[in-house]
């Protein structure tokens, strides 16, 4: 008989139990000049020191030997470990995607080296580098594996921490900018091949700088950590979250292109991040704006998708903050125009191109002009007359709104000082103006310089200002009240002002929100029952009520019946230049009669929208009126029967299946098969769009959706086909994306 195999000798020497049946090795013994006892002592010292351990299995893969010092860490007697499958004790490193399972390594019966494993249920959570080779009996039959193990726990944990730091933001623990970019690249590349969709969120905190300035940078860091935890609470396992730096965050959500679902996530994020925070140095309230881009609709690669989400975020911040926006191709044009207009606007103040006009506010019962509201106008040499709806959002985003607002206050107060004492001045303060620390001093300075009685100045604010911290808002409101100015709340019902706050706050009036006055498919006048309720509530709170943008005599009569006190809009007069206002006032008591045909309009505005209509193989241009979630009214087709189905093309790949529910000459009322969802800008959009993957399958190049009408949109030819088409376009998407 040959020499007893090494592991058998060692086991016999160290244990009283019988040696496992391991056949002689296939290699002849080598003469090392050491006795077996000396060699055994070296191995024992090596094992006991932890510098190296040994293991062996039988031909069935069951553990036949394990170094005693390693075995002790499992908390079981060696006899309980022997006979167990090797895989039951050592699991491959789950974080290393390059390695194959230990099962496969052993099953191939080939040598392996430096295989990283974790000791399962080991008290020290040991990480080992495992090596082994197969052994064979004299007859060539497989006899098992023998190998070694090195403890690399400290090295491995250090590498893990280094890798974690390279991937994660050190403050919040979220993924960092570099790793998010890499993640987006990999995801978009693989998803394009698999025809899957994903959404990219960009989040920017509102008023974070104020926290840093007032409470200090440590408080700002503490706040960012809490923000990260709240985002994780909303997103959960739905996506990957990263911090790009400062107060910017990014979220990648795979397999979701339903804008209804994405909008709900954005609303939850904004609501969660807007709740008060308790910091070591005090309490604070901030807000958040969210922009979203969706691949493949808005971009195929990382740069395009990130730019789409960035533009949507900018639009959300310009919309008043505390809002969300989806990307649309129109934002690209808006961005170019905005940059140029922002450059020109910065010089418009010095060049005295900004002027003020005043729109009459009329008491509905007496038709007397009781106030004049400030309206900005930009007389640009190249563009001509630029309306405030066009340039004020740009000023708001560029921070030009503060100097413009201070200039307007001075000019308007000076003009109003010459009006009769019965006529008030109404000045609408934007959220950025109202949040500025210099706003109250600017109001006082304008009153002092002009000599205007403070009670004749009415500061009108929107509910959007309450997205700021409650303490800051209340402090500003209280300071204005102490100055003696009147305070009014505009667009009431569009935000989140509580009735308890409205009861105790020193407001004098509220302006009813436009959402209650705009017509819909059910009522061309809007929700007059809700208006009546608001008026009754205002009477209980001893508040005056007003309505803006009243453009028809029919609406004015309805508001009068509801008991609304004041109104302004084209039904009375458009904004007038300061010299014309002065002339009207000098002539005596100023009254304005409402006009039925709208001849008081100085410049008619676009109120209708052109859309496409697909029926069978025909494409028509029609005019859309009064869009709602569930339907719309269109003009342009004659004698369309009730029950007919169309596909409306809203542009940008948005198609909605609709059924005619009523018809009158060239006007039809349509009901959508699937309701529209919020677009974040106060408008509506379809849940889904024509998929670029579907177009690519038809031979078109894979690219993001273009702006405007969608060429080549498939048109159904029958009722049953139309239903299938509706489901494919408008139903919420699940699973692997839009394909």
Q: Rounded CA gap, 559 and 538, in Å?
A: 14
How many CB atoms sit inside 10 A of residue 150's CB? Answer: 16
pLDDT at 615: 87
Average pLDDT over residues 426-444: 90
pLDDT at 28: 52
Q: What is the pLDDT of residues 129-142, one digit of tens each?
A: 889 999 999 898 99
Average pLDDT over residues 576-588: 86
pLDDT at 244: 93
pLDDT at 495: 58
Q: What is the pLDDT of residues 146-173, one digit of tens each?
A: 999 888 888 888 777 777 777 889 899 9
pLDDT at 6: 39
Q: What is the pLDDT of residues 74-129, one digit of tens each?
A: 878 888 889 998 888 887 765 544 445 677 778 888 898 888 888 887 777 788 88
- Closest by CA position to 152, among listed 128, 169, 172: 128
3-state helix, strand, coil in the chain (%, to 5): 40, 25, 35
Tell me: pLDDT of 18 over 50.
Answer: no
pLDDT at 33: 66
Q: Which of 102-111, 253-262, 352-361, 417-426 is predicted with the least confidence, judged by mean pLDDT? A: 102-111
530-560 CB burial, b ≥16 within 10 A, e <16? bbeebbebbeeeebbbbbbebbbeebbebbe
Tell me: pLDDT of 547 over 70.
Answer: yes
Q: Spell out where 38-141 has E strands.
A: 53-57, 63-66, 90-92, 112-119, 127-136
pLDDT at 522: 44
Q: How far, in whole angstroms, is CA 66 from its chain's centroid?
A: 55
Reduced to 3 states (helix: H, G, I; strand: E, B; else coil), residue 244 is strand
Per the prediction, the chain carries an average pLDDT of: 81
Here the tokens at position 1 are 């008989």
Q: Kindly state the DSSP code that residue 62 receives in the 8-state scheme.
A: B
How many CB atoms sit inside 10 A of residue 171's CB? Answer: 15
Q: What is the pLDDT of residues 557-571, one digit of tens each?
A: 889 999 999 999 888
Tell me: pLDDT of 225 over 50.
Answer: yes
Here the tokens at position 678 are 């919020």
Tell me: pLDDT of 34 over 60.
Answer: yes
- At 358, is the pLDDT very low, low, confident or very high (cuts 50, 70, 90)? very high
Domains in the chain, please, with CATH? 6-158 (3.30.450.20), 168-328 (3.30.70.270), 335-586 (3.20.20.450), 609-730 (2.40.10)
Are 680 and 324 in contact by the 8 Å Cβ rule? The answer is yes
- At 15, is the pLDDT very low, low, confident or very high (cuts 50, 70, 90)? very low
Query: CA angle 685-272-179, nearest 5°?
Result: 80
């Amino acid at each position: 008989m040959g020499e007893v195999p090494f592991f058998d000798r060692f086991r016999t020497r160290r244990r009283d139990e019988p040696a496992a049946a391991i056949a002689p090795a296939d290699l002849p013994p080598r003469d090392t000049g050491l006795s077996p006892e000396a060699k055994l002592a070296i191995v024992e010292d090596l094992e006991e020191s932890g510098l190296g351990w040994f293991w062996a299995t039988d031909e069935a893969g069951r553990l036949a030997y394990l170094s005693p010092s390693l075995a002790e860490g499992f908390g079981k007697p060696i006899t309980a470990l022997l006979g167990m499958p090797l895989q039951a004790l050592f699991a491959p490193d789950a974080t290393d995607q390059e390695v194959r399972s230990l099962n496969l390594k052993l099953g191939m019966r080939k040598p392996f080296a430096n295989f990283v494993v974790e000791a399962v249920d080991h008290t020290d959570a040991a990480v080992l580098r495992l090596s082994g080779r197969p052994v064979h009996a004299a007859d060539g039959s497989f006899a098992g594996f023998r190998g070694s193990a090195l403890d690399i726990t400290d090295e491995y944990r250090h590498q893990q921490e280094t890798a974690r730091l390279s991937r994660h933001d050190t403050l919040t623990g979220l993924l960092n900018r570099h790793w998010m970019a890499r993640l987006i690249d990999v995801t978009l590349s693989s998803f394009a091949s698999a025809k899957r969709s994903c959404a990219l969120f960009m989040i920017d905190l509102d008023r974070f700088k104020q926290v840093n300035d007032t409470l200090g940078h440590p408080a700002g860091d503490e706040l960012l950590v809490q923000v990260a935890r709240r985002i994780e609470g909303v997103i959960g396992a739905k996506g990957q979250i990263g911090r790009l730096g400062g107060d910017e965050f990014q979220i990648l959500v795979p397999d979701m292109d339903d804008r209804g679902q994405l909008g709900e996530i954005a609303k939850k994020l904004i609501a969660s991040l807007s709740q008060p925070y308790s910091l070591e140095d005090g309490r604070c309230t901030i807000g958040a704006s969210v922009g979203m881009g969706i691949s493949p609709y808005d971009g195929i690669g990382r740069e395009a998708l990130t730019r789409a989400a960035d533009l949507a975020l900018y639009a959300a911040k310009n919309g008043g903050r505390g809002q969300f926006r989806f990307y649309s191709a129109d934002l690209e044009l808006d961005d170019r125009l905005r940059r140029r207009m922002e450059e020109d606007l910065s010089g418009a103040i010095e060049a005295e191109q900004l002027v003020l006009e005043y729109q009459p506010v009329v008491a509905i019962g007496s038709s007397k002009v009781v106030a004049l509201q400030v309206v900005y106008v930009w007389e640009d040499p190249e563009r001509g007359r630029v309306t405030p709806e066009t340039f004020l959002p740009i000023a708001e985003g560029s921070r030009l709104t503060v100097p413009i607002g201070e200039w307007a206050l001075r000019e308007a107060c000076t003009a109003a000082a010459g009006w009769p004492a019965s006529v008030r001045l109404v000045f609408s303060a934007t959220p950025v103006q109202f949040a500025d620390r210099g706003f109250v001093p600017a109001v006082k300075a304008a009153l002092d310089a002009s000599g205007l009685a403070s009670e004749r100045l009415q500061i009108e604010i929107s509910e959007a200002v309450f997205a700021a911290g409650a303490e800051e808002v209340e402090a500003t409101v209280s300071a204005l009240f102490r100055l003696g100015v009147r305070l009014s709340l505009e667009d009431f019902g569009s935000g989140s002002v509580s009735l308890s706050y409205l009861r105790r706050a020193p407001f004098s009036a509220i302006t009813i929100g436009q959402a209650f006055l705009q017509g819909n498919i059910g009522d061309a006048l809007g929700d007059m029952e809700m208006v009546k309720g608001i008026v009754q509530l205002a009477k209980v709170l001893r508040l005056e009520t007003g309505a803006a943008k009243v453009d028809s005599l029919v609406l004015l009569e309805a508001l009068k019946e509801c008991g609304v006190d004041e109104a302004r809009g084209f039904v009375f007069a458009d904004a007038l230049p300061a010299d014309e206002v002065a002339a009207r006032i000098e002539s005596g008591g100023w009254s304005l009669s409402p006009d039925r045909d709208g001849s008081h309009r100085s410049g008619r505005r676009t109120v209708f929208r052109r859309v496409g209509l697909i029926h069978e193989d025909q494409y028509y241009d029609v005019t859309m009126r009064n869009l709602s979630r569930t339907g719309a009214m269109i003009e342009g087709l004659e004698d369309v029967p009730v029950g007919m189905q169309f596909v409306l093309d809203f542009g940008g790949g948005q198609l909605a299946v609709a059924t005619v529910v009523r018809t009158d000459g060239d006007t039809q009322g349509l009901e959508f098969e699937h309701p529209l969802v919020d677009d974040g800008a106060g408008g509506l959009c379809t849940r889904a769009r024509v998929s670029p993957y579907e177009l690519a399958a038809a031979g078109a190049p894979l690219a993001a959706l273009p702006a405007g009408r969608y060429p080549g949109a498939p048109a159904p030819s029958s009722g049953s086909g139309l239903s299938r088409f509706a489901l494919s376009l408008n139903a919420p998407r699940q699973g692997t994306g839009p394909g």
